[in-house]
Protein backbone atom coordinates (compact mmCIF):
# COMPACT_ATOMS: atom_id res chain seq x y z
CA UNK A 1 0.00 0.00 0.00
CA UNK A 2 1.03 3.65 -0.49
CA UNK A 3 4.20 4.41 1.49
CA UNK A 4 3.19 8.03 2.12
CA UNK A 5 0.49 6.83 4.52
CA UNK A 6 3.20 5.96 7.01
CA UNK A 7 4.99 9.32 6.91
CA UNK A 8 5.12 10.82 10.42
CA UNK A 9 2.49 13.12 11.90
CA UNK A 10 3.62 16.65 12.70
CA UNK A 11 3.85 17.27 16.46
CA UNK A 12 1.70 19.96 18.05
CA UNK A 13 3.27 22.73 20.13
CA UNK A 14 2.94 22.50 23.91
CA UNK A 15 4.61 25.91 24.22
CA UNK A 16 2.01 27.57 22.01
CA UNK A 17 -0.76 25.94 24.04
CA UNK A 18 0.75 27.33 27.25
CA UNK A 19 1.12 30.78 25.70
CA UNK A 20 -2.50 30.73 24.57
CA UNK A 21 -3.60 29.73 28.06
CA UNK A 22 -1.59 32.56 29.60
CA UNK A 23 -3.25 35.09 27.32
CA UNK A 24 -6.71 33.64 27.98
CA UNK A 25 -6.11 34.02 31.69
CA UNK A 26 -5.30 37.72 31.25
CA UNK A 27 -8.50 38.55 29.37
CA UNK A 28 -11.34 40.44 31.04
CA UNK A 29 -13.19 37.41 32.41
CA UNK A 30 -12.83 34.95 35.27
CA UNK A 31 -10.32 32.22 34.46
CA UNK A 32 -11.93 29.34 32.59
CA UNK A 33 -15.30 31.08 32.32
CA UNK A 34 -15.57 30.50 28.56
CA UNK A 35 -15.45 26.77 29.15
CA UNK A 36 -15.13 24.64 26.03
CA UNK A 37 -14.33 27.71 23.91
CA UNK A 38 -11.11 28.08 25.86
CA UNK A 39 -10.21 24.42 25.47
CA UNK A 40 -10.82 24.58 21.72
CA UNK A 41 -8.69 27.70 21.46
CA UNK A 42 -5.80 26.10 23.34
CA UNK A 43 -5.96 23.02 21.13
CA UNK A 44 -5.95 25.14 17.97
CA UNK A 45 -3.02 27.14 19.32
CA UNK A 46 -1.04 23.94 19.81
CA UNK A 47 -1.86 22.79 16.28
CA UNK A 48 -0.95 26.09 14.64
CA UNK A 49 1.99 26.91 16.93
CA UNK A 50 0.49 30.31 17.70
CA UNK A 51 -1.25 31.80 20.72
CA UNK A 52 -3.53 33.63 18.24
CA UNK A 53 -4.79 30.81 15.99
CA UNK A 54 -7.31 31.19 13.17
CA UNK A 55 -9.58 28.73 11.38
CA UNK A 56 -9.98 30.87 8.27
CA UNK A 57 -9.69 30.18 5.47
CA UNK A 58 -11.44 26.87 6.06
CA UNK A 59 -12.25 24.34 3.35
CA UNK A 60 -14.94 21.69 2.87
CA UNK A 61 -14.32 18.63 0.70
CA UNK A 62 -17.07 16.07 0.09
CA UNK A 63 -15.98 12.64 -1.15
CA UNK A 64 -18.55 10.44 -2.92
CA UNK A 65 -18.61 6.71 -3.61
CA UNK A 66 -21.07 3.83 -3.87
CA UNK A 67 -21.29 0.60 -1.86
CA UNK A 68 -22.07 -2.90 -3.05
CA UNK A 69 -23.58 -3.75 0.35
CA UNK A 70 -26.72 -1.82 -0.69
CA UNK A 71 -27.78 -5.06 -2.41
CA UNK A 72 -28.48 -6.48 1.06
CA UNK A 73 -31.28 -4.02 1.81
CA UNK A 74 -29.43 -1.98 4.44
CA UNK A 75 -30.57 1.47 3.25
CA UNK A 76 -33.92 3.18 3.03
CA UNK A 77 -32.80 4.89 -0.19
CA UNK A 78 -31.77 3.35 -3.52
CA UNK A 79 -28.16 3.44 -4.67
CA UNK A 80 -29.03 5.90 -7.43
CA UNK A 81 -29.30 8.63 -4.80
CA UNK A 82 -25.50 8.85 -4.51
CA UNK A 83 -25.21 10.06 -8.11
CA UNK A 84 -28.26 12.28 -7.75
CA UNK A 85 -26.78 13.91 -4.66
CA UNK A 86 -23.45 14.49 -6.39
CA UNK A 87 -25.36 16.44 -9.01
CA UNK A 88 -27.19 18.28 -6.25
CA UNK A 89 -23.90 19.22 -4.59
CA UNK A 90 -22.57 20.58 -7.87
CA UNK A 91 -25.77 22.57 -8.43
CA UNK A 92 -25.57 24.07 -4.93
CA UNK A 93 -28.82 22.57 -3.63
CA UNK A 94 -27.59 20.24 -0.88
CA UNK A 95 -27.49 21.04 2.84
CA UNK A 96 -23.71 21.24 2.93
CA UNK A 97 -23.56 23.58 -0.06
CA UNK A 98 -26.09 25.90 1.55
CA UNK A 99 -24.08 25.85 4.77
CA UNK A 100 -20.84 26.48 2.88
CA UNK A 101 -22.38 29.56 1.23
CA UNK A 102 -23.64 30.90 4.54
CA UNK A 103 -20.24 30.36 6.13
CA UNK A 104 -18.31 31.76 3.16
CA UNK A 105 -16.28 28.57 2.85
CA UNK A 106 -15.26 27.04 -0.49
CA UNK A 107 -16.50 23.51 -1.15
CA UNK A 108 -15.04 20.83 -3.37
CA UNK A 109 -16.76 17.60 -4.47
CA UNK A 110 -14.61 14.56 -5.33
CA UNK A 111 -15.96 11.49 -7.11
CA UNK A 112 -13.92 8.60 -5.72
CA UNK A 113 -16.19 5.86 -7.01
CA UNK A 114 -19.84 6.59 -7.72
CA UNK A 115 -21.44 3.59 -9.45
CA UNK A 116 -22.28 5.56 -12.59
CA UNK A 117 -19.63 8.03 -13.70
CA UNK A 118 -21.14 11.52 -13.21
CA UNK A 119 -19.08 12.94 -16.05
CA UNK A 120 -18.23 16.63 -16.17
CA UNK A 121 -20.10 18.69 -13.58
CA UNK A 122 -19.30 22.18 -12.25
CA UNK A 123 -16.80 21.92 -9.42
CA UNK A 124 -16.56 18.11 -9.54
CA UNK A 125 -13.13 16.49 -9.36
CA UNK A 126 -12.80 12.96 -10.71
CA UNK A 127 -10.48 10.66 -8.73
CA UNK A 128 -12.26 7.38 -9.34
CA UNK A 129 -10.96 4.18 -7.77
CA UNK A 130 -13.78 2.17 -9.34
CA UNK A 131 -17.52 2.04 -9.97
CA UNK A 132 -18.58 1.43 -6.39
CA UNK A 133 -17.15 -1.12 -3.98
CA UNK A 134 -17.97 -4.81 -4.06
CA UNK A 135 -20.55 -6.31 -1.71
CA UNK A 136 -18.61 -6.62 1.56
CA UNK A 137 -20.89 -9.42 2.71
CA UNK A 138 -19.20 -11.67 0.16
CA UNK A 139 -15.99 -9.92 -1.01
CA UNK A 140 -13.40 -7.36 0.06
CA UNK A 141 -14.66 -3.87 -0.67
CA UNK A 142 -11.69 -3.06 -2.88
CA UNK A 143 -8.35 -4.42 -4.05
CA UNK A 144 -5.01 -2.93 -2.89
CA UNK A 145 -4.61 -0.77 -6.00
CA UNK A 146 -8.08 0.71 -5.53
CA UNK A 147 -7.30 1.38 -1.88
CA UNK A 148 -4.21 3.34 -2.90
CA UNK A 149 -6.10 5.36 -5.51
CA UNK A 150 -8.84 6.27 -3.01
CA UNK A 151 -6.38 7.18 -0.24
CA UNK A 152 -4.42 9.36 -2.68
CA UNK A 153 -7.65 11.17 -3.57
CA UNK A 154 -7.81 12.30 0.05
CA UNK A 155 -4.14 13.27 0.08
CA UNK A 156 -4.53 15.24 -3.15
CA UNK A 157 -7.52 17.15 -1.75
CA UNK A 158 -5.49 18.22 1.28
CA UNK A 159 -2.50 19.16 -0.86
CA UNK A 160 -4.79 21.37 -2.95
CA UNK A 161 -6.09 22.94 0.26
CA UNK A 162 -2.53 23.57 1.49
CA UNK A 163 -1.77 25.31 -1.79
CA UNK A 164 -4.63 27.72 -1.12
CA UNK A 165 -3.61 28.53 2.44
CA UNK A 166 -6.31 26.51 4.19
CA UNK A 167 -6.14 26.57 8.00
CA UNK A 168 -8.98 24.14 8.81
CA UNK A 169 -10.14 21.06 6.90
CA UNK A 170 -13.70 19.70 6.94
CA UNK A 171 -14.25 16.39 5.20
CA UNK A 172 -17.69 15.19 4.18
CA UNK A 173 -18.96 12.05 2.48
CA UNK A 174 -21.80 10.81 0.32
CA UNK A 175 -22.46 7.14 -0.33
CA UNK A 176 -25.69 5.22 0.10
CA UNK A 177 -24.92 2.22 2.33
CA UNK A 178 -21.92 3.77 4.04
CA UNK A 179 -23.31 3.65 7.60
CA UNK A 180 -23.22 -0.14 7.32
CA UNK A 181 -19.62 -0.04 6.11
CA UNK A 182 -18.64 2.43 8.83
CA UNK A 183 -20.34 0.42 11.59
CA UNK A 184 -18.53 -2.70 10.36
CA UNK A 185 -15.20 -0.86 10.54
CA UNK A 186 -15.94 0.34 14.09
CA UNK A 187 -16.89 -3.17 15.20
CA UNK A 188 -13.78 -4.66 13.63
CA UNK A 189 -11.43 -2.19 15.31
CA UNK A 190 -13.11 -1.74 18.69
CA UNK A 191 -15.20 -4.85 19.21
CA UNK A 192 -18.68 -3.57 20.17
CA UNK A 193 -21.58 -5.86 19.24
CA UNK A 194 -23.23 -4.95 15.91
CA UNK A 195 -26.61 -4.33 17.52
CA UNK A 196 -25.05 -1.54 19.60
CA UNK A 197 -23.69 0.36 16.59
CA UNK A 198 -26.29 -0.25 13.88
CA UNK A 199 -28.37 2.90 13.47
CA UNK A 200 -31.17 4.18 11.25
CA UNK A 201 -28.82 5.68 8.66
CA UNK A 202 -31.03 7.11 5.93
CA UNK A 203 -34.17 6.34 7.93
CA UNK A 204 -34.56 2.61 8.61
CA UNK A 205 -37.29 1.46 10.95
CA UNK A 206 -36.69 -0.88 13.89
CA UNK A 207 -36.96 -3.97 11.70
CA UNK A 208 -34.54 -2.44 9.21
CA UNK A 209 -32.00 -1.64 11.92
CA UNK A 210 -32.20 -5.20 13.23
CA UNK A 211 -31.56 -6.53 9.74
CA UNK A 212 -28.65 -4.14 9.36
CA UNK A 213 -27.08 -5.45 12.59
CA UNK A 214 -27.44 -9.01 11.31
CA UNK A 215 -25.70 -8.05 8.07
CA UNK A 216 -22.86 -6.39 9.99
CA UNK A 217 -22.37 -9.54 12.06
CA UNK A 218 -22.07 -11.60 8.88
CA UNK A 219 -19.62 -9.07 7.43
CA UNK A 220 -17.40 -9.43 10.49
CA UNK A 221 -17.49 -13.22 10.28
CA UNK A 222 -16.55 -12.99 6.61
CA UNK A 223 -13.53 -10.69 7.04
CA UNK A 224 -12.14 -10.54 10.56
CA UNK A 225 -9.81 -13.51 10.29
CA UNK A 226 -8.22 -11.91 7.22
CA UNK A 227 -7.52 -8.46 8.67
CA UNK A 228 -4.66 -7.61 11.02
CA UNK A 229 -4.12 -3.91 10.28
CA UNK A 230 -6.45 -0.89 10.29
CA UNK A 231 -5.64 -0.40 6.61
CA UNK A 232 -6.76 -3.96 5.99
CA UNK A 233 -10.03 -3.35 7.82
CA UNK A 234 -10.73 -0.29 5.68
CA UNK A 235 -9.81 -2.08 2.46
CA UNK A 236 -12.06 -5.05 3.17
CA UNK A 237 -15.03 -3.34 4.86
CA UNK A 238 -14.90 0.34 4.03
CA UNK A 239 -15.69 2.45 0.99
CA UNK A 240 -13.86 4.51 -1.59
CA UNK A 241 -15.11 7.77 -0.07
CA UNK A 242 -14.24 6.51 3.42
CA UNK A 243 -10.72 5.59 2.35
CA UNK A 244 -10.31 9.05 0.83
CA UNK A 245 -11.41 10.64 4.11
CA UNK A 246 -8.96 8.46 6.02
CA UNK A 247 -6.18 9.54 3.65
CA UNK A 248 -7.18 13.19 3.98
CA UNK A 249 -7.07 13.06 7.78
CA UNK A 250 -3.64 11.44 7.78
CA UNK A 251 -2.36 14.01 5.30
CA UNK A 252 -3.73 16.86 7.43
CA UNK A 253 -1.71 15.57 10.36
CA UNK A 254 1.39 15.20 8.23
CA UNK A 255 1.25 18.78 6.91
CA UNK A 256 -0.21 20.37 10.04
CA UNK A 257 -3.81 21.35 9.27
CA UNK A 258 -6.46 21.03 12.01
CA UNK A 259 -9.36 18.74 11.16
CA UNK A 260 -13.00 19.28 12.13
CA UNK A 261 -14.46 15.77 12.03
CA UNK A 262 -18.10 15.28 11.04
CA UNK A 263 -20.45 12.50 12.15
CA UNK A 264 -20.59 8.71 12.18
CA UNK A 265 -18.91 7.95 8.85
CA UNK A 266 -16.23 10.58 9.28
CA UNK A 267 -15.58 9.42 12.85
CA UNK A 268 -15.07 5.83 11.67
CA UNK A 269 -12.55 7.12 9.12
CA UNK A 270 -10.83 9.18 11.80
CA UNK A 271 -10.65 6.05 13.96
CA UNK A 272 -8.84 4.14 11.22
CA UNK A 273 -6.46 7.06 10.63
CA UNK A 274 -5.72 7.49 14.35
CA UNK A 275 -5.22 3.76 14.79
CA UNK A 276 -2.57 3.89 12.07
CA UNK A 277 -1.08 7.06 13.60
CA UNK A 278 -1.98 7.58 17.30
CA UNK A 279 -0.42 11.11 17.35
CA UNK A 280 -3.06 12.13 14.80
CA UNK A 281 -5.58 12.40 17.67
CA UNK A 282 -4.06 15.78 18.53
CA UNK A 283 -5.16 17.13 15.13
CA UNK A 284 -8.79 15.95 15.31
CA UNK A 285 -11.61 18.08 16.69
CA UNK A 286 -14.90 16.17 16.74
CA UNK A 287 -17.68 18.52 15.76
CA UNK A 288 -20.86 16.86 16.99
CA UNK A 289 -22.46 13.85 18.61
CA UNK A 290 -24.42 12.14 15.86
CA UNK A 291 -27.74 10.41 16.29
CA UNK A 292 -25.96 7.31 14.95
CA UNK A 293 -24.88 5.08 17.87
CA UNK A 294 -21.82 3.78 16.04
CA UNK A 295 -20.03 7.03 16.76
CA UNK A 296 -20.05 6.58 20.55
CA UNK A 297 -17.37 3.84 20.78
CA UNK A 298 -15.10 6.05 18.67
CA UNK A 299 -15.40 8.91 21.14
CA UNK A 300 -14.52 6.57 23.98
CA UNK A 301 -11.57 5.03 22.14
CA UNK A 302 -10.10 8.40 21.15
CA UNK A 303 -11.07 10.20 24.38
CA UNK A 304 -12.94 12.77 22.29
CA UNK A 305 -15.47 15.36 23.42
CA UNK A 306 -17.76 16.60 20.62
CA UNK A 307 -18.44 20.32 20.36
CA UNK A 308 -22.18 20.05 19.66
CA UNK A 309 -25.10 17.69 20.13
CA UNK A 310 -27.79 18.42 17.54
CA UNK A 311 -29.05 14.88 16.82
CA UNK A 312 -27.86 15.20 13.23
CA UNK A 313 -27.22 12.16 11.01
CA UNK A 314 -27.02 13.66 7.53
CA UNK A 315 -23.30 13.41 6.83
CA UNK A 316 -21.90 15.50 3.97
CA UNK A 317 -19.80 17.41 6.52
CA UNK A 318 -22.93 19.20 7.75
CA UNK A 319 -22.33 18.73 11.48
CA UNK A 320 -18.76 19.96 11.15
CA UNK A 321 -19.97 22.99 9.22
CA UNK A 322 -22.44 23.73 12.03
CA UNK A 323 -19.57 23.70 14.54
CA UNK A 324 -17.28 25.97 12.53
CA UNK A 325 -18.79 29.23 13.93
CA UNK A 326 -17.97 28.01 17.44
CA UNK A 327 -14.31 27.71 16.52
CA UNK A 328 -14.41 31.08 14.80
CA UNK A 329 -15.80 32.65 17.97
CA UNK A 330 -13.10 31.06 20.11
CA UNK A 331 -10.39 32.52 17.88
CA UNK A 332 -12.04 35.95 17.74
CA UNK A 333 -12.32 36.14 21.53
CA UNK A 334 -8.62 35.40 21.90
CA UNK A 335 -7.67 38.03 19.31
CA UNK A 336 -10.09 40.81 20.18
CA UNK A 337 -10.90 40.71 23.89
CA UNK A 338 -8.97 43.19 26.00
CA UNK A 339 -6.73 42.12 28.83
CA UNK A 340 -7.39 43.45 32.34
CA UNK A 341 -4.45 45.82 31.94
CA UNK A 342 -5.56 47.09 28.52
CA UNK A 343 -9.12 47.72 29.68
CA UNK A 344 -8.24 49.16 33.08
CA UNK A 345 -10.35 46.52 34.79
CA UNK A 346 -9.36 45.28 38.22
CA UNK A 347 -8.37 41.65 38.54
CA UNK A 348 -9.35 39.43 41.43
CA UNK A 349 -6.75 40.22 44.08
CA UNK A 350 -5.58 39.24 47.49
CA UNK A 351 -7.93 41.80 49.10
CA UNK A 352 -10.95 39.76 47.99
CA UNK A 353 -12.02 37.53 50.92
CA UNK A 354 -12.50 33.88 50.22
CA UNK A 355 -15.78 32.09 50.89
CA UNK A 356 -14.61 30.63 54.20
CA UNK A 357 -13.84 34.10 55.61
CA UNK A 358 -17.22 35.42 54.45
CA UNK A 359 -19.15 32.51 55.94
CA UNK A 360 -17.31 32.76 59.28
CA UNK A 361 -18.12 36.46 59.46
* pLDDT given for residue 347 in this prediction: 87
Contact 252, 282 (CB under 8 A): no
Residues recognised as catalytic: 316
The predicted structure's pLDDT at residue 353: 53
Q: What does the CA dihedral 26, 32, 37, 41 come to, rounded to 10 degrees?
A: 50
Q: For the chain, list residues with pLDDT below 70.
A: 1, 349-361
- Residue 119's pLDDT is what? 92
The model carries a pTM of 0.94
Q: Say whether 113 sits in a helix, a strand or coil.
A: strand
Please report which residue ranges of 307-354 form alpha helices under DSSP H: 318-336, 340-343
User: Rounded to the nearest 5°, which phi and psi values hold at 311?
Assistant: 55, 35
Q: Which helix (H) or strand (E) element contains residue 39? A: helix 36-48
Residue 28 · residue 340 · CB < 8 Å: yes
Q: What CA–CA distances, in Å, run from 349 to 71, 335, 339, 346, 352?
A: 68, 25, 15, 8, 6
Q: Delineate the domains of the chain, giving CATH numbers in brackets.
A: 56-327 (3.40.50.10210)
Give tens-digit pLDDT for 281-305: 999 999 999 999 999 999 999 999 9
355, with CB counted inside 10 A (0-12, 13-18, 19+), is exposed
pLDDT tens-digit map of 80-100: 999 999 999 999 999 999 999
Which pLDDT does position 113 carry in this prediction? Answer: 98
> Residue 351: its pLDDT value, please?
53
**Number of residues in the chain:** 361
- Specify the 3-state DSSP secondary structure of 315: coil
| Cis before 169 (ω within 30) | no
Amino acid sequence: MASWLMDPIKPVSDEAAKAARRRLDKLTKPKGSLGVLEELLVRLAAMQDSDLPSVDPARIVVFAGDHGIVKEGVSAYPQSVTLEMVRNFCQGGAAITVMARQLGVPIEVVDVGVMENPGALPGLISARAGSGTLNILTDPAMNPDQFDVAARAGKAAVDRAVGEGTKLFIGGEMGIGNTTAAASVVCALLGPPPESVAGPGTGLDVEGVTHKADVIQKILLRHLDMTNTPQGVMRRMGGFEMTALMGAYIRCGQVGIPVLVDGMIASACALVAATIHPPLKSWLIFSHRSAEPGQYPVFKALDAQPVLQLDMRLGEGSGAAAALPILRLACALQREMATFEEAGVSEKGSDVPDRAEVSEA
